[in-house]
Structure 1
């Protein structure tokens, strides 16, 4: 079987595609149907993946990589049994559910006839998305291994957003690395798939603000396809550790609590956005996706369930401010505004109200109102930098590990996704969709913070 993905000289030939089932040595695993939580219904069924690029390993070769997955995936799926199942639609409710009958995860092996260094790493589309292979909409997990002429390889962990959020996707990769290296998962790494922890109250109750924060994702309420596609440019940047540290220092004040690295970079982006908007609009907005696992600490039962919860526990915080105000404010003041916006909600109450709000709207699909492009210009930021991510499953750390998502709506807001470089050098990699003027402003700033990713930066060399 062969397929061509992309153009120019990159041709990925699929050598094999087969199903791998959980092993039969765990009698505690029974076939079952797993219902989604109301929080899973917010992203709905959108394909998402973690794409890892590895240089030529110091020991072993691609055959050894394939052998490791063939040997270890069955045991791995014992722990992540829903990923050996299928995403289905409940005939009565029309809602997604997981049929955990050990139908098998997909293992795809392919080969590319070019070295990794020949890829254009300036965007995800020109690099990662040309390597990743299509997989069925109902597939809970497709693991894709692709070899390159330089001896390097790629591993794509392809799944669906209705199953996992960013934190859970990172747990998935880390658990595989631990299991592949040691042959077992320690108790603290074993996943929790129990979605019953997020239950609506008998009488749903929520703030009216949820009706403003979300909008039904109907075609007639989205911008047209040309506006959505032509308004933005795609970029893949890196931020050196020294620049992250410099921004953090600039965003902190003596005698006050230091700004976090995320707050500092967000403040820098907010000021750049305000500079680009200028007099064209009186306001601009920033939006941040927030992982609830570390913030749901009020109830001991929920706190324990969140430690290794596999599912969606994500919400967002948003703040609108005067363009003139953001431009005039010192960086520490903007960073403080970022921190206040993210810390403001009472997250225990917020998530319960969100669960209740979705309960009355389970049949429809919603999206963050600001993401549609209505109102003042908005840039959303999501960071994987706080999620532990171990990519070393016995062949060294990945040079890059970036989440990717297949867009299913015509959104018209800026979006910046940040992940830490896997080797732990402190630098960050960012996938971004930006207005051309904002991208130009970031790239021309001195000293430059957002630099284009290159094969040289990733340590990839042609053979």
Structure 2
């Protein structure tokens, strides 16, 4: 029998919050975060799915959630501090807070301005309570790992919003959970593989193996010990937008980048040059641009697929720093070549294993990726990070009533660097949907170009 806990329930006339516990009891225990998890500051990531009529019902979503949390039990727990004031998971079976609400004013889904995130999307995301500051290390210990929100609209459509703690898992891991949740709601016989929480896969070597000087130098360039505070907040106002990119424009970028470069490398190179234009046009005449790319290490550490079902963070963030004027003058192919060089340098098993050992030697002192801070250029650089969402499971997010009409990430993080996440369009036609959280100068340059970044009109989604 599905167990639905309602110990945290209230109804203020619009919102009803229930706590959905795993369908089977969980033996309470603590699950340490891995060394690679500890590299992540206390940040929440959100994503959402828009469904036209008929949309998934709250009852179906909650019933499937309770069943899915049996395998994904850490998501039903809480982040707490251990004796060294490091975050770890308390797997208590407490459950996931699920909010059911109705759009204010009898609004219809088609009226939500999806492209103007701050105006239309923000209120569809489940809010997590602000964490408390641990005195010794100023690390935010937030509590709940996941929160979910179902917003129903007069037209019969609905939006499913999800927010998760990035310290517990990366997008690859949360995608696994989403696919399993949707499959359970459909009562699919083809159950996805169970997640793996084997911390031994990312454990430090004992004794640590001698690393090549080049490996040590790369780690020291990409990461640094930090005061225990989170990354510095943005000093200026940032904007959140969702754009679309036509498949033909993506192909054109790749062709311009030349042979041997991926679509993501071509896109990153183009974005780097746009940032250079924005830097030159800014009031401060920023002379340096830092561009980072999030790299997943699962297949790098274990090419045999041993980490395919691993749940947790397996990320590194290589970056490049270049003068704004140099970037503006270079051909796209040359910029893409530079992106390829520094991404490939970090996309190795040796780098990830060395990184695990490096964090172990540093603990309990926290560390952070330098790309968050503008690389070696510090706060004087125009900084941006690209995180590929191309594995986003939009084609598997069918909770029994059909695929979503639209889906996107939502990550208005507090750090000073911009953040850009491309992912496949729900239309399945090769277009991209791109979430951006950037300085206003960068958004202005994006919108002024005649190709690539196109405004996301609701007619594109709901035609």
TM bracket, shorter-chain basis: 0.7 to 0.9
CA distance in 2 between partners of 1:406 and 1:237 (Å): 15
Any gaps of 5 or more consecutive residues in structure 2? Answer: 1-9, 130-141
Q: Could you say which residue in structure 2 is the equivalent of 1:228?
A: 235
Select the structure with the greater relative contact order (CA < 8 A; seq sep ≥ 6).
Answer: 1
Unaligned runs of 5+ in 1: 4-11
Task: Provide the secondary structure at the position in 2 that maps to 1:182.
Answer: coil
Asked if 1 retains the 8 angstrom alpha-carbon contact of 2:41 and 2:368, the reply is no
Find out whether 1:130 has 2:131 as its counterpart: no
Q: Tell me the distance in 2 between the aligned counterparts of 1:329 and 1:216.
A: 34
Q: CA offset at residue 290 of structure 1?
A: 0.7
Matched, 1:214 2:207: no
Alpha carbons 2:19, 2:98 under 8 Å: kept: yes
Cα drift, residue 416 of structure 1: 1.4
How many angstroms apart in 1 are the aligned matches of 2:372 and 2:97? 33
Distance 1:434 1:140, change over 3 A: closer
Query: How far 1:385 moved relative to its partner?
Result: 0.9
Q: 1:97 aligns with which of 65, 88, 93?
A: 88
Query: What corresponds to 1:6 in structure 2?
Result: none
> 1:159-189, CA deviations, whole angstroms, 9 ceiling, x for partnerless residues?
2112110111222111212222234553x53
Aligned residues: CA RMSD: 2.7
Structure 2: distance between partners of 1:221 and 1:123: 27
Using the alignment, how far apart are the partners of 2:356 and 2:316 within structure 1? 11
Aligned-partner Cα distance in 1 for 2:19–2:418: 38
Given the superposition, is the C-alpha separation of residues 222 and 75 from structure 1 closer, same or farther in structure 2, using an over 3 Å criterion? closer
Partner of 1:8 in structure 2? none
Give me the whole-angstrom Cα distance separating, in 2, the residues matched to 1:13 and 1:85. Answer: 27
Give 1:35's match in structure 2, choosing from 32, 36, 42. 32
Q: Which of 74, 99, 107 in structure 1 is aligned with 2:66?
A: 74
Distance 1:134-1:424 versus aligned 2 partners, 3 A rule: same
With structure 1 as the length reference, what TM-score do the two structures score?
A: 0.83
CA offset digits 1:92-122 (Å, max 9, x no partner)? 2222222222222222211113112222323
Q: Deviation of residue 308 (structure 1)?
A: 1.4
Matches within 5 A, 1:35-74: 35-57=32-54, 65-74=57-66
Query: Are the structure 2 counterparts of residues 84 and 184 from structure 1 closer, same or farther at C-alpha, using a change threshold of 3 Å?
Result: farther
> 2:419 and 2:193 mapped to 1: Cα distance?
31
C-alpha distance in structure 1 between counterparts of 2:404 and 2:317, whole Å: 29
The CA deviation string for residues 32-78 of structure 1, in whole angstroms up to 9 with x for no partner, is: 32111011111143222322222223xxx55xx21212322222111
Question: In the alignment, what sits opposite 1:160?
Answer: 165
1:138 deviates by: 1.5
Question: What's the counterpart of residue 238 of structure 1?
Answer: 244
Provide the rounded CA distance (Å) in 2 between the counterparts of 1:127 and 1:311: 31
Structure 1 CA distance, aligned partners of 2:427 and 2:348? 32
The residue number in structure 1 matching 2:272 is 270
Corresponding residue number in structure 2 for 1:337:
338
Q: Offset of 1:212 from its aligned partner?
A: 4.1
Q: Deviations over 1:104-161 (max 9, x none)?
A: 2222211113112222323322222212232353112322211012211111222211
Q: CA deviation at 1:289?
A: 0.6
**Cα shift readout 1:385-418 (whole Å, capped 9, x = no counterpart):** 13444211222222332223463x4x32232122
Secondary structure of the residue aligned to 2:387 is strand
Alignment partners' CA distance in 1, 2:334 and 2:420: 21
Task: Indicate yes or no: 2:20 matched with 1:20.
Answer: yes
Whether the 8 Å CA contact 2:295–2:347 is kept in 1: the answer is no
In the alignment, which residue of structure 2 is the partner of 1:394?
Answer: 400
Q: How far apart, CA to CA, are the structure 2 residues paired with 1:337 and 1:178?
A: 41
Kept in 2, the 8 Å contact 1:372–1:413? The answer is yes
Cross-structure match for 2:460: 457
**Contact kept in structure 1, 2:222 and 2:319, CA below 8 Å:** no
1:442 match: secondary structure: helix
Gap change, CA 1:21 and 1:278, over 3 Å in 2: closer
| 1:312 corresponds to | 313
Matched, 1:369 2:370: yes
- TM-aligned CA deviation for residue 218 of structure 1: 4.2
| SS of residue matched to 1:457 | helix
For residues 228 and 396 of structure 1, what CA distance do their matches in structure 2 show? 43
Distance apart, 1:285 and its partner CA: 2.5
- Checking the alignment, whether the CA contact within 8 Å between 1:398 and 1:423 is kept in structure 2 is no
Out of 88, 91, 112, the position equivalent to 1:119 is: 112
Structure 1: distance between partners of 2:121 and 2:53? 17
